[in-house]
């Protein structure tokens, strides 16, 4: 189920213009930015009945913007922050408007319920503090029929 969810989220993020690459793993180096990295962060399981559980699959979605690249006449730090703010809004809008992940294929016994996304933290990252980064918390709620898995 994790793979199905992460691929569908990646598919949605790939549709956003202005993002150079989307990774579902943490690469050692980025070719170009802005870049989005989507990685699993945690799982939760809640007992419902002897036949059904609810699982929460959580992901960290990080957006990286290079702090050393800006068009002529722009302050590089201010430019990176402005680009990042716009991309955070774009990602939130894209995922919020697709909270049901329409078209997702799920294994037998699983029923996708909904997805929520919220901004969680901002910071600086990289070897020489070369990236401005924002992290979003993505949570996917899935109902699991224990008799069918």
Are 133 and 62 in contact by the 8 Å Cβ rule? The answer is yes
- Say if residue 106's pLDDT is above 90: yes
Domains of the chain listed by start with CATH number: 2-145 (3.30.2000.30)
| pTM given for the model | 0.91
pLDDT of residue 139: 97
75 within 8 A of 89, measured Cβ to Cβ: no
Residues 6+ apart with CB under 8 A from 124: 67, 131, 132, 133
Residue 138 is predicted with a pLDDT of 98
Residue with the larger pLDDT of the pair 29 and 128:
29
Cα–Cα distances in angstroms (integers) from residue 46 to residues 53, 60, 122, 138, 147, in the given order: 6, 21, 30, 18, 16
| Cα–Cα distance, 118 to 11 (Å, whole number) | 19
**Res 117: pLDDT:** 97
CB 21 within 8 A of CB 35: yes
What is the per-residue pLDDT across 33-56, written as a single tens digit (0 to 9) for each?
999 999 999 888 877 777 889 999
Task: Judge whether residue 113 has pLDDT over 80.
Answer: yes
Q: What is the pLDDT of residues 114-130, one digit of tens each?
A: 999 999 899 999 877 89
Place of tokens 């809008």: 93
Q: What is the mean pLDDT of the segment spanning 89-93? A: 97
Tally of CB atoms within 10 A around 101: 20
């Amino acid at each position: 189920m994790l793979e199905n969810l992460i691929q569908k989220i990646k598919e949605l993020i790939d549709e956003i213009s202005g993002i150079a690459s989307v990774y579902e793993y943490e690469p050692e180096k980025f070719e170009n930015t802005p870049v989005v990295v989507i990685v699993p962060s945690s799982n939760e399981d809640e007992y419902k009945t002897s036949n059904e559980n609810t699982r929460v699959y959580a992901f960290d979605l990080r957006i990286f913007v290079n702090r050393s690249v800006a068009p002529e006449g722009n302050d590089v730090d201010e430019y990176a922050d402005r680009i990042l703010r716009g991309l955070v809004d774009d990602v939130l809008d894209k995922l919020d408007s697709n909270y049901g992940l329409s078209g997702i294929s799920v294994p037998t016994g699983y029923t996708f319920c909904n997805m929520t996304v919220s901004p969680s933290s901002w910071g600086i990252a990289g070897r020489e503090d070369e990236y401005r980064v924002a992290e979003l918390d993505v949570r996917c709620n899935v109902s699991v029929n224990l008799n069918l898995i």
